[in-house]
Homo-oligomer: A and B are copies of this chain.
Amino acid sequence: MDCILRQTHFLNARLADGSLADLTVTGGRFSAIAPAANAAAPPAGAVDLAGQLVLPAFVEGHIHLDTSFYGDAWRPHIPCTDGFDVRERVAFQMRSLEQAAPMDERAKNQLELCVGHGSLAMRSHVMVDAAVGLKHVETILGVREKYRELIDIQLVAFPQSGILSSPRTAELLDEALKLGCDLIGGLDPASFDRDVNGHLDVVFGLAERRGVGVDIHLHDGGTLGLFEIEEICARTAAMSMQGKVAVSHAYALGHISADTLARAGEMLAASGVAIMTNAPGNHPFPPVAALRKAGVTVFAGSDNIRDSWWPYGDGDMLNRANMIGYRSGFYEDRELEAACDLVSHAGAKALGLEGYGIAVGAKADFVALKAEHVPEAVVAVPRERTVFRRGMLVARDSRMTS
């Protein structure tokens, strides 16, 4: 991508505050942002955004690049035989994946879906266990390399089959980090491995040894899940890992009383542990407004997109912001803005992204769409949008341009 010396002008961009601005991009970063000049003779090659709202490119904070069937044959969802069971679902997943198109093709389908909708940074969990070994990690590392000019991808070595209950997984996770994964993952230390301390010892031990962040899948609910969150916070603080640890899903935070939640919010904020939610449809999830008020970084992800876990997901983080707002009862403008924050600035903070935003010096990764302001963008979710990577057009109307 030849953008090092290139300078591009974007005219009449509507900023989040409602003002119109001209944006100059030099070498892939914003070099100037000034009130719209309406110059009689605009610079050669200038792009007139004609008052379209400009948002920083969305941050896809939780996805599974290795397991989606998006773009592959339709696979009807298979229910568990007796209520939801993670182990049974993992077994279904293994069987389905064996019959699926090659992983790199499926990952590419999913990446292009996300980029098309305007996500230019993402965190993907990638399965590591005794059965698949490092195969998924190696494939997705290759996909990341191939798409590095287009999208920034963080990979989490994800123990989909547990750590203590899946042989050699601790060693495999360590290998995955050496190969290039950016974070170490985890999975329900209590309900899956039946050993909270044993599971977290491995996770935080690897984080320390390899100097990486942590992002743990935690579906465990109620007081059990809260106990695990307390343990994660305590270890994060003890290891001075504030800002480098996230808990994904954290359904427990949606199950507890307001008083208990207030204390949990203080604890999460103080220990710098972020919470990821996709605003699931039919069960409680972390109360976004209360956690944000407590100072917790709450970010968002699609989670599974059309895979063996469920058939939903469209890779559109603006639609995810809409869903988060809808599920959270966000009606006021400031609330709709908060929903958008989860898929943009808060996501960038959780992922520790450098140079994020519509600001001089920031990378010129942005989305332009027809909306008066952020609240309208969140309720209308316009699919007509253009996506720019380092100031260069990469997608239009939710499809990649090349």
* Residues on A facing B (Cβ under 8 Å): 74, 76-79, 281-283, 306, 310-314, 322-323, 325-329, 331-333, 336, 372-373, 375-376, 379-381, 383
Contact = CB atoms under 8 A, between A and B. Distances in A.
How many copies of the chain does the oligomer comprise? 2
Nearest to A313: B379
A68 to B, nearest CB: 12
B76 A332 contact: yes
Contact of A77 (B314, B333, B372): B333
A306, A311, A331, A376 — most chain B CB neighbours (10 Å): A311
A316 to B, nearest CB: 10
B331 A375 contact: no
Contacts of A281: 325-329
Nearest to A283: B329
Contact of A332 (B79, B306, B328, B381): B79
Nearest to A70: B380
A336 B78 CA distance: 13
A313 to B, nearest CB: 8
15 contacts: A74-B372, A74-B376, A77-B332, A77-B333, A78-B332, A79-B331, A281-B327, A281-B328, A282-B326, A282-B329, A306-B379, A310-B331, A314-B380, A323-B326, A383-B383
Closest 8 A-B residue pairs measured CB to CB? A281-B326, A282-B329, A77-B331, A76-B333, A311-B379, A281-B327, A77-B332, A310-B331
A225 B147 CA distance: 55
Contact of A282 (B310, B311, B328): B328
A314 B381 CA distance: 9
Contact of A312 (B76, B312, B326, B333): B326
A375 B326 contact: no
A201 B74 CA distance: 52
A328 to B, nearest CB: 6
A8 B170 CA distance: 65
Nearest to A310: B331
Nearest to A78: B332
A155 B6 CA distance: 59
Nearest to A329: B282
B79 A373 contact: no
A59 to B, nearest CB: 22
Contacts of A74: 372-373, 375-376
A381 B398 CA distance: 13
Contacts of A380: 314
A306 B333 CA distance: 12
A109 to B, nearest CB: 13
A327 B282 contact: yes
A78, A373, A379, A381 — most chain B CB neighbours (10 Å): A379
A326 B295 CA distance: 29
A366 B312 CA distance: 25
A380 B113 CA distance: 12
A381 B306 CA distance: 13
A281, A310, A314 — most chain B CB neighbours (10 Å): A281
A143 B65 CA distance: 49
B379 A312 contact: yes
A380 B71 CA distance: 11
Contacts of A314: 380-381
Nearest to A334: B76
Given A79-B331, A311-B375, A383-B383, 17 more contacts: A74-B372, A74-B375, A74-B376, A76-B332, A76-B333, A77-B332, A77-B333, A79-B332, A281-B325, A281-B328, A282-B328, A282-B329, A306-B379, A310-B331, A311-B336, A314-B381, A323-B326
